[in-house]
Amino acid sequence: MKDKVCSDFVFMPLKGDQRVPAMAAGEQVAATDRLAAGSPAVVESDTTEVKSKIVVVGDCECGKTTLIHRYVQSKFQETYTPTGFDTYSGSYNVSDTYRIQMSIWDTSGDAGYDRVRPLSYTDADLVIICFSIDSPDSMENVVSKWHPEVREHCPTQPIMLVGCKADIRSEAKNLPPGRPRPALVSYDQGLKTAKHIGALVYSETSAKTSQRSVNDVMEVAALSSAGTTNTGGAAAAAAAAGTPTSDGPNGFRRQRSFIRRKRFSGLNEAKVHLRKEAAKSCAVM
Ligand SMILES: Nc1nc2c(ncn2[C@@H]2O[C@H](COP(=O)(O)OP(=O)(O)OP(=O)(O)O)[C@@H](O)[C@H]2O)c(=O)[nH]1
**Average pLDDT of 115-133?**
96
Average per-residue pLDDT for the chain: 73
Residues 107 and 154: their CA atoms lie apart, in Å, by 15
Instruction: Decide if pLDDT at 129 tops 90.
Output: yes
Instruction: Decide if pLDDT at 56 tops 90.
Output: yes
Q: What is the ipTM of this complex?
A: 0.99
Neighbours of 113 (CB within 10 A): 18
Residues 120 and 114: their CA atoms lie apart, in Å, by 11
Show Cβ contacts of residue 53 under 8 Å, excluding neighbours closer than 6 positions: 102, 103, 105, 123, 124, 125, 126, 225
Instruction: Decide if pLDDT at 150 tops 60.
Output: yes
pLDDT at residue 131 in the model: 98
The pTM of the full predicted model, rounded to 2 decimals, is 0.75
Calculate the CA 280 to chain-centre distance: 22
pLDDT at residue 148 in the model: 98
User: In the chain, how long is the greatest CA-to-CA distance?
Assistant: 64
Q: Which atom of ligand 1 is nearest to the CA of 68?
A: 15
Q: Is 211 in the pocket of ligand 1 (CB under 6 A)?
A: no
Q: Is 162 in the pocket of ligand 1 (CB under 6 A)?
A: no
Give the mutation target among 2, 66, 120, 129 for probing the ligand 1 site: most ligand atoms within 8 A of CB. Answer: 66
pLDDT at residue 17 in the model: 44
pLDDT at residue 85 in the model: 87
pLDDT at residue 98 in the model: 81
Q: Is 78 in the pocket of ligand 1 (CB under 6 A)?
A: yes
Strand partners, 284: 253
Q: Is 31 in the pocket of ligand 1 (CB under 6 A)?
A: no
Residue 121's pLDDT band, with cuts at 50, 70 and 90, is: very high
**Average pLDDT of 194-221?**
91
